[in-house]
Amino acid sequence: MSANKGSENPPTQPRSWWRLYAGTFLATFFPVLLLGGNTPPYNDGKQIFAHAENLVYHGKLGIDLAPGIVFYSPRPILVSLVHVPDVALRRALGHFFPQADQLTRIVTSHLVPAALLSLTCVLFLRFLLHLSVAAGIASVASVALAFCTMLFVFGRVVWSDIVQAFAFWGFFSETLLFVRDPKRKKALLLGVWAGILVNSKYLYVLTLLGGLCFVGTLTLRRLGWRPTVRLFGWAALAALPFALPVLWFNYVRNGTLFHTGYDVEPFQESLVWGFYALFFSTGKGLFLYNPPLVLGFWPSRKLPRYWWWAVAAMAGPVVLLYSKYSNWGGDWSWGPRYIIFLVPILMVPAALLLEQLWDRRKHLALACVTGVAVVGLFVQLVGAGLYWDHFIRLSQAARAQWLGIPNRAGAYTPPRGDHCDPCFEDLHAHSYLPAFQPIEGHYWLLKHALRGDTWETAANDAPWRRYTSLPLDATKRWYPWPPIDWWYLGFAPKFANAGRLLFALLLLGSAGGVTLWVQALRRLRRPPAAPSPTRQATDAPGPSAPGAPAAT
């Protein structure tokens, strides 16, 4: 939490930062698409994407379910509007390839999530450079954020969580940069990020309130009342255009300005156990799904002295609220998606640790940090290999046959048929029991799917076989379906040539991004060229010629 005095002052921006930003974006965007999924918008994503499709194809947000019945998503409209470019591209391609429309829908739906993931990494890189972290270390940490944390899995699917991670990190990082250099331009930018954040999820109003207290305290101490109020006024003015669509959409959906349409669900979990479960539970712990974050508490003199106060003010209220939420796990999902916004925050100290070890040439420690990053990459590739819903359903079938059908008579959320999505009765095994741990379960399925093993072979080393000898044949129907979740497999055999062409284009884009990224790093490492002696002699003032004006 300590900081050197110079860390409070904003550094001068090198000329080549924009090249590094572009290189980092492309070097993450194209590889994420190259490893993209083959699953169409599903569950929450289906509902989100349907509004974007309805807007592009029918020119309206509300979806007509029946005469006089119009459906509106309870989520902020931004999480659907960001996918309008995806749908517009699909519609344009549909004129040329109508027979491949559903395949085009899947591929194009992944563009915006991948772009938001890459933009989050660029913002992360920008913040590290403002902390005077070496460009190479900052770039490596940004790429690790993209591929070694759960952001990668959510950057491949149409869910609102990657929008939230992008918006939260943008607001959080801009708040800290504003505190370091409180000026009108930064206040306007902070207001824009505040508007984007609330439009990603209404609950983040708690973050705005915490950020208001945090910024107000530090700015008042530094500038006094009048400048602080003036800056807050500029921020509010910039946020106003983002508030109006929220009020309008609430009115369209519910006939009132302030009712969002969210169903009221129970918030009666123990604060202690909810907090513990979000970070350390067997099936949903944040650190299991994001191994690099175990390095996120290392002290560094480059970390602003108010860093953890900022985390407590802006992230703390949301974490505590979800710790009280009965459905704290956020299923059906990969990892604890409700606190995905913490991932970039905790990666900052990890990046500073990496720089510290590199500067001190701690080779053994660097090897350990690299090992942690490799484990993180493995976890994400395992998670992306199959769509998470598949293993959840498989594990529920195994749990029901092994441990029995749960008694849902007292569930606080009404069951839907033979299951209850957010209920403890249905999800306790997935969240708490090692026999149904999703990371291990995904690895088990992928291992046998890649080998082409039969169900009988795969069942021999199923994770639950450590605890029971029952065959649990109820899971058998889930074993061969679906295949590996990779977009390329959807092109074979009918559209094999188109698949090869798209693969080549994405591979070329990845290579181009990496090349630009490496070139930008080389430019930043190269010292500025000294002026030549001839140029110095030419530019130096000398005696004036007769009749000429004196040199100034």
Structure tokens at 46: 């289906």
Q: CA dihedral defined by 385, 387, 391, 397, rounded to 10 degrees?
A: -150
Lowest mean pLDDT among 187-191, 208-212, 242-246, 523-527: 523-527
Beta bridge partners of 419: 416
Residue 421 has pLDDT above 80, yes or no: no
Beta strand ranges found along 8-80 (DSSP E): 63-66, 69-71
With a pLDDT cut of 90, the percent of the chain lying above it is: 69
- Helix (H) or strand (E) holding 70, with range, is strand 69-71
Phi, psi of 66, rounded to the nearest 5 degrees: -160, 165
Structure tokens at 165: 């991670």
Whole-number Cα distances in Å, 494 to 36, 482, 500: 19, 18, 12
Quick: pLDDT tens for 371-404.
Answer: 999 999 999 999 999 999 889 989 989 999 999 9
> What mean pLDDT, rounded, does the chain reach?
89
Residue 417 has pLDDT above 80, yes or no: no
With a pLDDT cut of 70, the percent of the chain lying above it is: 91
Lowest mean pLDDT among 246-250, 281-285, 414-418, 533-537: 533-537
Give the 3-state secondary structure of residue 545.
Answer: coil
Structure tokens at 258: 């302030």
Lowest mean pLDDT among 45-54, 404-413, 540-549: 540-549
Which of the four pLDDT bands, split at 50, 70 and 90, describes residue 526? low
Which of the four pLDDT bands, split at 50, 70 and 90, describes residue 14? low
The answer for 361, left when phi > 0, alpha when psi is -120 to 50, beta otherwise, is left
Looking up tokens 């974007």 gives 52
Residue 8 has pLDDT above 80, yes or no: no
- Among 11, 310, 340, 9, which residue's Cα sits nearest to residue 168? 340
Q: How large is the average pLDDT for residues 472-491?
A: 86
- The sign one gets for the Cα dihedral 298, 301, 307, 312 is positive
Beta strand ranges found along 246-359 (DSSP E): none
The answer for 26, left when phi > 0, alpha when psi is -120 to 50, beta otherwise, is alpha
Q: How large is the average pLDDT for residues 212-236?
A: 95
pTM to 2 decimal places:
0.91
Give the 3-state secondary structure of residue 132.
Answer: coil
Q: How large is the average pLDDT for residues 283-303?
A: 94
Residue partners of 308: CB distance under 8 A and separation at least 6? 1
